[in-house]
Amino acid sequence: MSGVTLAFISSFFWALNAILIRKGVRDVDPLEAAYVSTYPGAALLIFVSLAVVDWSAVPSSPWAAFGMFTLTGIFSLAFARFFYFISVQRIGPSRSSIVLATRVLLAPFIGMLLLSEPFTLRVAIGGSLMVLGLSLLSSETP
């Protein structure tokens, strides 16, 4: 299977994820839903990790790397996922996923702020389009 097809399948499952959140959190607490939904995902990832990870390639002292992935878990799978569940419950999956797509802007901004990376024309144009798209969304009547 080509990388392009795999990327499409990945997008499809993320889209389906948003739809299921909407159907799931209609009558239940989004925080509990975010918590409970993490278990089957974790089980699947553990199973795949045990099957495919080349353990000899794991560094002998991986603590710093584990620390980074711990922070990743706290930011994305705890905070961000919880907020995403609330957002889908309140404004729906389509609008939530559009706002979520703007996350790619954050990496260049962090690079500019912390690593003094240059502000490129690409980021300026892409960022402007995203802001324009979001302002179109926010101008909708609720």
Please, which of residues 63-92 interact with another protein by CB under 8 A?
A: 64-84, 86-87, 90-92
Instruction: Give yes or no for residue 98 binding another protein (CB under 8 A).
Output: yes
112, 116, 118, 126: which one contacts another protein (CB under 8 A)? 126
For residues 142 and 137, what is the distance between their CA atoms, to the nearest angstrom? 10
Least CB distance to another protein at residue 116 (A): 15
Q: What is the number of H-type helices and E-type strands within the chain?
A: 7, 0
Instruction: Give yes or no for residue 100 binding another protein (CB under 8 A).
Output: yes
Instruction: Give yes or no for residue 119 binding another protein (CB under 8 A).
Output: no
The CA-CA-CA angle for residues 129, 21, 98, to 5°, reads 5
Cβ neighbour number for residue 85 with a 10 Å cutoff: 24
Enumerate residues 43-62 that contact another protein by CB under 8 A.
44-46, 48-49, 52-54, 57-59, 62
The string of DSSP letters for 26-44 reads TSS-HHHHHHHHHHHHHHH
Enumerate residues 17-36 that contact another protein by CB under 8 A.
17-29, 31-36
Contact (Cβ atoms closer than 8 angstroms) between residue 93 and residue 21: yes
Least CB distance to another protein at residue 50 (A): 9
112, 113, 118, 130: which one contacts another protein (CB under 8 A)? 130
Contact (Cβ atoms closer than 8 angstroms) between residue 38 and residue 81: yes
- The first and second tokens of residue 6, run together, are 């795999």
Instruction: Give yes or no for residue 42 binding another protein (CB under 8 A).
Output: yes
Instruction: Give yes or no for residue 38 binding another protein (CB under 8 A).
Output: yes
Instruction: Give yes or no for residue 101 binding another protein (CB under 8 A).
Output: yes
